[in-house]
Amino acid sequence: MEKVTLKDKTFKKVIPYEAISDAIDKVAAKINKDFKNCSDIPVLLCVLNGSIMFMGELMKRLEFNCQIVSTKLTSYEGTISTGKVRQAMGLTADITGRRVIIVEDIVDSGNTIVALKDILNEKGVAESRICTLLLKPDAYKKDMKIDYVAMEIPNDFIVGFGLDYDELGRNFKDIYVLDK
């Protein structure tokens, strides 16, 4: 599929699955290097719903024991970020004193990551690192370091590989950009 239509918008393919898979290989290698021979069991924190596909692909490539925990935060309505982050679902396990790798589908404004880091600090995590499939450097203006970035992309609205437009398009294996 070179183009897809979701509701009232058309999207064109911009990143094929093969490129996504290669980027995940590279980011997983960096994480494996950092967590090689770890004696603890780090937590992979899946930020629902968008990170499900990335999380599934990433964890297959990790070479250390890890626990999976989920949470759900939301800040979008349609194609627009509201700027307000709310926790739609709390953490699915106690992470006090644990090392956490936040697994995000995309970091754009950074509001979600900042809110999530605050939540994790309140929960008493020992350390938290951020891993994102996609980073929009033109949109990200926060001082918080993103530890692992699989791909950098322009500040365009995209769907596919977990990302959605009004909850549609997450199931596409490729990534599509809004066709203007």
Q: Check if the beta carbon of residue 92 is closer than 8 Å to that of residue 71.
A: yes
Largest Cα separation within the chain, whole Å, is 50
Q: Which residues have a Cβ under 8 Å from the Cβ of 8 and sit 6 or more positions away?
A: none
Closest by alpha carbon to 106, among 61, 160, 56, 143?
160
Backbone angles phi, psi at 172, to 5 degrees: -70, 135
Q: Check if the beta carbon of residue 30 is closer than 8 Å to that of residue 62.
A: no
Active-site amino acid positions:
108
